[in-house]
Amino acid sequence: MAIEIKQSGTVFTGSGIELFALRSVIGMLRLEERGMKSRVPVLKRAKEKYGVKGNRTAVLKQLEERFAKMKAEEVVMVAPGVANG
């Protein structure tokens, strides 16, 4: 995952975009689990997008495992003034 930190903000590139999106879905599922409501249930969208099955707890566990696997596969950070290695 490449993360570029600039004066105007942080930019996720490459696989970092999908990793960030997955992390957001996990966070939203946790909020739904605690009782927060949304117009379109996140659980339904997560099941459709990521092809997972089960109740909220099972889906959350599967997505967290997928996130950990994706994060372990590629971690590259780019900061100002530092060469990308």
Predicted local distance difference test score (pLDDT) of residue 3: 66
In a domain, 82, yes or no: no
Helices 56-73 and 42-50: crossing angle in degrees, nearest 10, is 50
In a domain, 79, yes or no: no
In a domain, 84, yes or no: no
In a domain, 15, yes or no: yes
In a domain, 78, yes or no: no
Tokens of 23: 């992390």
In a domain, 22, yes or no: yes
Q: Is 60 helix (H, G, I), strand (E, B) or coil?
A: helix
In a domain, 83, yes or no: no
Per-residue pLDDT of the chain (85 residues; tens, 9 = 90+): 566 777 777 776 776 788 888 999 999 999 988 998 888 889 999 999 999 999 999 999 999 999 999 888 765 444 444 444 4
**How many whole angstroms separate alpha carbon 13 and alpha carbon 70?**
14
Smallest CA-to-CA distance from 63 within 35, 23, 36 is with: 23
Which residues constitute the domain of residue 28? Answer: 2-73
**How many structural domains does the chain have?**
1
